[in-house]
Amino acid sequence: MDARITLRVDGRDRSLTVDTRTTLLDALRDHLSVTSPKKGCDHGQCGACTVLLDGRRVVSCLTFAVAHDGADVTTAEGLAEGGEPHPVQRAFLEQDGFQCGFCTPGQICSAVGMLEEVKAGHPSHVTDDLTGPVTLDDEEIRERLSGNLCRCGAYVNIVAALREEADS
Amino acid sequence: MTVQDRVVGTPSPRVDGRAKVTGIAAYAYDRPVDDPVYAHPLQATIARGRVAAIDDVAAAGVKGVLAVVTHRDAARLADTEDAELSVLQSDEVAFRGQFIGVVLAETPEIARHAAGLVRVEYDEEPHDTELRADRTDLYAPEQVNGGFATDTDEGDVDAAMAAAAVTVDEIYTTPMEHNNPMEPHSTVAIWNPGGGFPEAPRLTLFDSTQSVHSVRSTLARVFGLRPEQVRVVSPYVGGGFGSKGMAHAHNVLAVLAARAVAGRPVKLALTRHQMFSLAGHRTPTIQRVRLGADEAGRMTAVAHEAVEHTSKIKEFAEQTAVGTRMMYAAPNRRTSHRVAALDVPVPSWMRAPGEAPGFFGLEVAMDELAAACGLDPIELRARNDPRSDPESGRPWSGRHLVRCLREGAARFGWEDRPVVPGTRRRGRELVGMGVASSTYPYYRFPGSRAVVAYGGRGRYTVRIGAADIGTGAWTVLTQIAADALGCPLGAVSVEIGDSGLPSATVAGGSSGTTSWGSTIVAACRSFRRVYGDDPPPGAEAGDDMPENPDAERYSMHSFGAQFAEVRVDADTGEIRVPRMLGVFSVGRVINPRTARSQFIGGMTMGLSMALLERSVLDHRTGHVINHDFAEYLIATNADVMDVDAVWLDEEDVHAGPLGARGIGEIGIVGAAAAIANAVHNATGIRVRDLPITPDLLLR
């Protein structure tokens, strides 16, 4: 069964017809040629497909496109407005927070979403005080980004990049 | 003569960095193509036997299905000698998960759905997937991976062990492991029936590979084409760690599919599940290590005997014990490899094949010997540091293991290590430190060529079909070319990842920088020799990788020292690794930024190997049951705390014009042993089987 939907992707309205079985990830990649979200597992276990869906980070392989008619999707490509890297992207470049680059767009979307969650006071598994503002220390960064796997082992540099962001 | 440094040795940012952080870097499957066909493979659900019947009527009847290709109708291959690549050529099933067909459809959803409708009947035969050291069918392969001798035997190990004042004789095991690069193995294949010329190749592949030229030559052979009729393009590779070092069955399947829908591009990406049976793995190993020493800790005997598996259809014998041959001085030395050929998927390269599992056994045994001798583990290694290569007798081009150990000890605060294991407690946690040695050989593979072209206005292009799988090769090669040409970094563009470029060897064996880099230096020098410093636009010159006569005269290896601190929860057995430090001696470091990433990346994979990774083969079904990231655990961000690497400031004057020995693999070697040794220091419990899980520490 097909459905006609509209998605706002990286600031552009895109209309498309999708099979109702099409995931948001496949809609972006196969239908719209937006390939910065990557398919690492298709099971929501690796985070490579992370995008910001209406401002919140989601693994786009675990949600159907048809369920998001009218939604706003931001990918790592869209975070670079006018081609200028987002501050988080600049921090990844400075700290060499990646190697092969495949998990990187997902890491970056996840990090941007995570920083907003911290700003909004969302606690994590390692937050001691569930009521007060969150201090984004290394343990918090690691915990909050542990849904994004990196097989090259760039975690230490990713944390350094986010620490730079948290301090600024 | 070495190259004059100007940008070599500086931490240049990655030339591909911006494309990667913004996500516009196009990996194989991302390549835009017109009118694609989507492939979904069919896999055997038995481990051994024959396909008796395939009912694809329902699948073929689904709207949007273009073809169901099986052994009954797949094109015949020109060369089936390599059984791993002999895809859909018969009804035989040699391991569970083997390709038995592929469904081609207009959309991925249709292809996947239809694949689920295909009914297969089998004539099942008994299978055997269980590696045990007491198997009666273990055999000695002709040689082991890398072309090394299967066995070595010098002196009399048994007599030396019997006479030794102190001995260690233990069994160490490492499990089956999977490379699991984040990017699944992906191929877009286009078969052009009218093509056949370099301008319009018969076969074009957008592939994810560590070697475009080896995929090209392999597929040309398998499909009976000339290499010029095949083009393989792979500019960005989402990790490989050896699993993309050569063509695998999915490449052949994609081309068979492309032939079935000639003219249309076929897109095939293995699922994470499929990667566990089709993209190589590291064999499990059972290692008996015997060490003998006198009262002062001077070793008299070292023996390392490895038992491992391979697949029945293709032999891959990992060189697990080879590193032990050159590591420590002892007059009596023996190594051996015995292999069981089982009904398992084909094993292959995984980061530091040989050294990674082998140095778990050897370096934990060294820790045990140190304890038995009452010596500090660093002192034991220093006392047994050989002046020349004990196997070949050759002088070292530079063996600075002891410097690495001493420097690491000072930086890590080794003097704080509890002398008596299991005695330091902080709250609920037991705390300890461990050390292990690392090494990796200097490999340099012949067969690369580079071409330098001048485009005018001060701009040079350097072409070589190399691969950057995350190593930083793209950046490092640009630095090398800029210095060799004597021009600014920004004046050089390096083109890689296309078999249309001059031939390059595989991104493997930590050989890329030395092999391709020295080739680029030679090409740049040839260019300057012909055209001088003021070339005309359009000027072009190339050269092949130069010989390195020193490679025959010296024993050339990199070395390192791995330090780990662990905290073990005394009540739950949970293991945390708050600190790891590696100190490496690798010759010259071309780019400290990308080099550090390689080292800490290898160490992080070593941490993962130490505590998490294990592929569980269900011997009743021959199936790797934990075939996804929910159950095959790799280190996450939350598992990794402080991992750092430093290196000696040096240059190996025998390692060619760059003075560099290669860095991609040494970071994983010894890392798991350092953690195991730290766990022993913390808890007093000696774990000899990986991974080290909490249950092993609850006694």
Task: Residue B629: list chain A partners with CB under 8 A.
Answer: 41, 43, 45-46, 149
- Which two tokens mark B445? 């593979």
Q: The tokens 């012909």 sit on which residue?
A: B530
Q: Please, which residues have CB within 8 angstroms of residue B72's CB and are 6 or more apart in sequence? A: B54
Q: Tokens representing B539?
A: 């000027």
Is the CB of B605 less than 8 angstroms away from the CB of A151? yes
Is residue A104 classed as helix, strand or coil in its secondary structure? helix
Identity of the amino acid at B366: M
How does B566-588 read in b/e, with b if 16+ C-beta sit within 10 Å? bbbbbeebebebebbbbbbbbbb
Does residue B1 surpass a pLDDT of 50?
A: no
**pLDDT tens digits, residue range B297-322?**
999 999 999 999 999 999 999 999 99
Ramachandran class of A146: left when φ > 0, alpha when ψ lies in -120 to 50, beta otherwise:
alpha
Contact call for A100 and B239, based on CB within 8 A: yes
Q: What separation in angstroms does the CA of B199 have from each of B230, B462, B656?
A: 10, 21, 36
Q: Residue B281: in which H helix or E strand, if any?
A: none
pLDDT value of residue A45: 98
β-bridge pairing B299-311 and B186-191: unpaired
Structure confidence by residue, pLDDT tens digits, B100-154: 999 999 999 999 999 999 999 999 999 999 999 999 999 999 999 999 999 999 9
Using CA atoms, how far apart are residues B456 and B539, in angstroms rounded to an integer?
Answer: 9
User: Which amino acid appears at position B153 of this protein?
Assistant: D
Q: Name the phi and psi angles at B500, rounded to 5.
A: -75, -10
Give Cβ neighbours of residue B124 (< 8 Å, ≥ 6 apart).
B46, B48, B49
Sorted by where each starts, the structural domains of chain B and their CATH numbers stand as 31-126+183-238+245-278 (3.90.1170.50), 143-178+282-443+553-697 (3.30.365.10), 456-547 (3.30.365.10)
Nearest C-alpha neighbor of B390 from the set B439, B349, B319, B317:
B439
* List of chain A residues with pLDDT < 70: none
Strands of B575-585's sheet in order across: B425-426, B429-441, B557-569, B575-585, B642-647
Distance in Å from the first CA to the final CA of chain B = 59
Helix (H) or strand (E) holding B609: helix B592-611
- Give pLDDT, residue A168: 74
How far is Cα A142 from Cα A140, in angstroms, rounded to an integer?
A: 5
Single out the residue of B288, B304, B284 nearest to residue B350, CA to CA.
B284
- DSSP conformational letter for B61: T
pLDDT > 90 in chain B, percent? 97
Write the residue in A40, A102, A158 that is nearest to B637 by C-beta: A158
Give B7's Cβ-side CA count (13 Å radius): 20
Question: Sheet containing B92-93: which strands, arranged edge to edge?
Answer: B92-93, B49-55, B119-124
Q: Does A23 touch chain B (CB under 8 A)?
A: no
Handedness of CA B2, B7, B11, B16 (dihedral sign): negative
Band (pLDDT 50/70/90 cuts) for residue B197 is low
Kindly list the residues from chain A whose CB atom is less than 8 angstroms away from the CB atom of residue B24.
36, 77
- Chain B residues with CB under 8 Å of A145 CB are 637
Among candidate residues A30, A9, A165, the one with its CA nearest the CA of residue A73: A9
With CA atoms as reference, the chain A residue closest to B665 would be A152
Task: Compute the residue count for chain B.
Answer: 699
Residue of B nearest to A97 (CA): B597
The percentage of residues in chain B with a pLDDT greater than 70, rounded to a whole number, is 99
- Which helix (H) or strand (E) covers residue B674, if one does? helix B671-683
CATH number, domain A2-79: 3.10.20.30
Active site residue B565: no
Could A150 and B182 be called an inter-chain contact, meaning their C-beta atoms sit closer than 8 Å?
yes
pLDDT score of B199 more than 80: no
Where in chain A are the domains? 2-79, 87-167
Cα dihedral A117→A120→A121→A126 (10° resolution): 0
Mean residue pLDDT across chain B: 97
- Confirm if B230 and B220 have CB atoms less than 8 A apart: yes
Are A152 and B597 inside 8 Å of each other by CB?
A: yes
In the numeric block, which tokens belong to residue B475?
Answer: 């950046």
Give me Rg for the CA atoms of chain B: 26
How, if at all, do strands B65-70 and B152-154 pair?
unpaired
CB proximity list for A119: less than 8 A, separation 6 or greater: none
Identify the pLDDT of residue A132: 84
CB B40 within 8 A of CB B114: yes
d(CA B496, CA B493): 10
Mutate: best of A102, A140, A142, A158, partner B, most B CBs <10 A: A102
* pLDDT number for residue B235: 93
The answer to whether B642 contacts A156, with C-beta atoms less than 8 Å apart, is yes
Q: Alpha-carbon distance B517 to B529, whole Å?
A: 18
The three-state secondary structure class of A16 is strand
Residues 6+ apart with CB under 8 A from B589: B9, B595, B647, B660, B663
A2-79 matches A87-167 in fold? no
Tokens of B290: 């015997």
ω into residue B536 within 30 of 0, thus cis? Answer: no
Give the mean pLDDT of B593-601.
98
- Dist CA B522 CA B519 (whole Å): 5
Predicted TM-score (pTM) of this structure:
0.98
- Residues in B touching A38 (Cβ below 8 Å): 23, 27, 182-183, 238
Q: Is the pLDDT of residue B3 over 60?
A: no
- The CA distance from A162 to A154, in Å, is 12
Contacts of B679 (CB under 8 A, 6+ apart): B432, B434, B566, B568, B575, B685, B687, B692, B697
| CB-CB contact of B547 with B570 (8 Å) | no
Task: Note whether A152 contacts B601, CB cutoff 8 Å.
Answer: yes
Task: Kindly report, residue by residue over B224-272, the tens digit of the pLDDT.
Answer: 999 999 999 999 999 999 999 999 999 999 999 999 998 999 999 999 9
CATH of A87-167, one of 1.10.150.120, 3.30.70.1150, 1.20.950.20, 1.10.287.1040: 1.10.150.120
* pLDDT, position B4: 58
Q: Could you tell me the pLDDT band of residue B384, with boundaries at 50, 70 and 90?
A: very high
Kindly state the helix (H) or strand (E) to which residue B585 belongs, with its residue range.
strand B575-585
Element (H, E) at B253: helix B249-260
Secondary element (H or E) of residue B425 = strand B425-426
| Neighbour order of strands in the sheet with B460-463 | B492-495, B460-463, B449-454, B540-544
The residue of chain B with its CA nearest to that of A82 is B22
**What are B147-160's pLDDT values in tens digits?**
999 999 999 999 99
Q: What would the two tokens of residue A22 be?
A: 């099409």
What is the spatial distance between Cα B379 and Cα B492, in angstroms, rounded to a whole number?
48
Tell me the C-alpha distance between B160 and B437, whole Å: 24
Q: Strand, helix or coil at B79?
A: coil
Residue partners of B146: CB distance under 8 A and separation at least 6: B319, B322, B353, B354, B509
A57 in contact with B, Cβ within 8 Å: no
Q: Which of A41, A99, A101 sits opposite B629 (nearest CB)?
A: A41
Name which of B692, B651, B48, B687 is nearest B342 in CA terms.
B48
Q: Is B286 exposed, middle or buried (0-12, 13-18, 19+ CB in 10 A)?
A: buried
